[in-house]
Amino acid sequence: MASSRDQFSSRFGFVMAAAGSAVGLGNIWGFPTQAASNGGAAFVLVYLVLAFILAYPILMAELVIGRHGQANNVASLRKIATGPFSANSGTFTAYYGLITASLILSFYAIVGGWMASYLLASITDLIGADGATQWMTEFGETRNLLFTVLFMGLTATIVSRGVADGIEKWSNRLMPMLLGLLVLMIIYVLTLPGADAGLRAFLIPDFSRALEPELIVSAMGQAFFSLSLGVGTMMIYGSYISEQENLPVTGGIVTCVDISIAVLAGFLIMPAMYAAQHNGVQIFDDGGALIAGDTLIFNVLPPLFESLGPAGPIVALVFFLLMTIAALTSSISMLEVPVAFAVERHNLKRGRAATLIAGVIGLVSAVIVFNFGELFGRVVAFTTEFSQPLLGLFLCLFAGWVWHRDGVLQAMKKGAPNLEHGLFWKIWPAYVKFLCPLFILLIFLA
Ligand code: TRP
């Protein structure tokens, strides 16, 4: 079984897949406005520091546990257990992560579906099919359900092809495209009148704001979500990395790509918002804060695109293509968690497992679609604000306390023979053991 296990075929492939998981809607619609309303460049700086001292160590813990296990997350966590209690805790943590990943996918697919519907709407807009355009840009249960199913179908199609031929191949295609589209959009948006005010709002540092405790806490949450931590996504991707690979370096690249795309997204979103304001669109809510999240994507940007004349539908098309790609490379990483488990544990064929599990998660999405007001926000909060940090805490306890330090070192040294003499090994063990758990407890207290 172990010898026939699917693997990423190259470092580039792994970095694209893991960065594809990390770079998602969180980067593009979360980070820029958070930065702008929280001290601009000062927040970016705080975020950068936190990403490296909190998120990166946990990412490393997940990657090394996964690569050592060479199996699904339940087996990987049990493998480092030292007795019945830690083995059972491993099983519990892996299942909890699997369920959380599935629940995150159940709402993420709804949002991904919105991106896909706006993408199609920009095409129907170009060919003048106004009825269709209007239907696809109006919030409705039928539209939401239809596009959720479409998005889930795309996700399952890629995952069913496997790691190298599905996840890696598509990440290799989609991630460079995402970067290209992003840069293209930035160049265009910076030429719009009013855009420079957005740059200023994003970049001028206000250090007094950035050091407020609530801000640090929200930056931590953002870093956690953005690097897809806790639920076992990175652990299962880690299990597909070759033993020749230097984990601290590879993980560092993934962290840097994720941060860079978030900062780049700021160069797009902030100028776009201020250009929209220049054209008479309201960009601050009644409380005086910058509009963020879905309202930003669907109420601030579309009027901006509309005001651009003939270029409008094309700019909209590029933007929503970008968003759809960002969402898709993230959603495949969520689906891989339960699929890998079902394939190994229950001997299901990958294609069948992907279809079946995507179907079940799709049903959960349908329940959310039909009870949107009551359920959507609750599922988001339960999974991302509560479960993710809690799971991150468990993983630190596993990597720092359960797994013997020497075992970790041996596992980490594969592909990095000089590890124990470097800076990484001087710092990291103490981080996952003491500092990261402490940080996470702080998030909870807040
Ligand atoms: N990191 C992605 C984003 O920024 C979302 C994501 C992918 C994720 N996989 C995850 C979030 C696993 C939490 C857990 O949008």
What pTM value is reported for the model?
0.95
* pLDDT above 70 as % of the chain: 99
Could you tell me if the CB of 330 is within 6 A of ligand 1? Answer: yes
Segment 168-179, tens digit of pLDDT: 999 999 999 999
* Residue 361 confidence (pLDDT): 98
Over residues 275-295, the mean pLDDT reads 91
Segment 370-413, tens digit of pLDDT: 999 999 999 999 999 889 999 999 999 999 999 999 999 999 99
Segment 82-111, tens digit of pLDDT: 999 999 999 999 999 999 999 999 999 999
Over residues 265-284, the mean pLDDT reads 94
In a 10 Å sphere around its CB, with 0-12 CB exposed, 13-18 middle and 19+ buried, how is residue 285 labelled? exposed
pLDDT-derived band at 230, boundaries 50, 70, 90: very high
Over residues 125-135, the mean pLDDT reads 94
User: Three-state SS for 290?
Assistant: strand
As a whole number, the mean pLDDT across the chain is 94
Could you tell me if the CB of 327 is within 6 A of ligand 1? Answer: no
* pLDDT above 90 as % of the chain: 82
pLDDT at 73 over 60: yes
**What is the Cα–Cα distance from 338 to 353, expressed in whole angstroms?**
9
**Mutation choice for ligand 1 from 224, 233, 379, CB with most ligand atoms inside 8 A:** 233
> What are the two backbone dihedrals, phi and then psi, of residue 38, each rounded to the nearest 5 degrees?
-125, 40
* Residue 210 confidence (pLDDT): 77
* Residue 40 confidence (pLDDT): 85
pLDDT-derived band at 4, boundaries 50, 70, 90: low
Could you tell me if the CB of 97 is within 6 A of ligand 1? Answer: no
Among residues 416, 343, 337, the alpha carbon closest in space to that of 77 is found at 337
Over residues 45-62, the mean pLDDT reads 92
User: Three-state SS for 77?
Assistant: helix
* Residue 1 confidence (pLDDT): 42
- Cα 279 to middle of ligand 1, angstroms: 33
Could you tell me if the CB of 26 is within 6 A of ligand 1? Answer: yes
User: Three-state SS for 138?
Assistant: coil
Q: Please identify, by atom number, the ligand 1 atom nearest to the C-alpha of residue 25.
A: 15
Over residues 142-147, the mean pLDDT reads 98
Residue bearing the CA closest to ligand 1, atom 13:
228
pLDDT-derived band at 217, boundaries 50, 70, 90: confident
Could you tell me if the CB of 104 is within 6 A of ligand 1? Answer: yes
Over residues 229-252, the mean pLDDT reads 97
Could you tell me if the CB of 233 is within 6 A of ligand 1? Answer: yes
**Mutation choice for ligand 1 from 231, 330, 333, CB with most ligand atoms inside 8 A:** 330
Q: What is the CA radius of gyration of the chain?
A: 21
- Cα 380 to middle of ligand 1, angstroms: 12
Over residues 116-126, the mean pLDDT reads 96
Over residues 303-322, the mean pLDDT reads 93
* Residue 37 confidence (pLDDT): 82
Q: Which residue has the tokens 């930003």?
A: 296
* Residue 2 confidence (pLDDT): 43
Could you tell me if the CB of 29 is within 6 A of ligand 1? Answer: no
pLDDT-derived band at 215, boundaries 50, 70, 90: confident
> What are the two backbone dihedrals, phi and then psi, of residue 241, each rounded to the nearest 5 degrees?
-90, 145
Over residues 147-165, the mean pLDDT reads 98
Could you tell me if the CB of 25 is within 6 A of ligand 1? Answer: yes
> What are the two backbone dihedrals, phi and then psi, of residue 215, each rounded to the nearest 5 degrees?
-70, -40
Q: Which of 27-31, 358-362, 439-443 has the lowest mean pLDDT?
A: 439-443
Could you tell me if the CB of 255 is within 6 A of ligand 1? Answer: no
* Residue 423 confidence (pLDDT): 95
Which residue type does 39 have? G
Over residues 23-39, the mean pLDDT reads 88
Which residue type does 18 have? A
Chain-centre distance for alpha carbon 62:
15
pLDDT at 337 over 90: yes
* Residue 302 confidence (pLDDT): 93
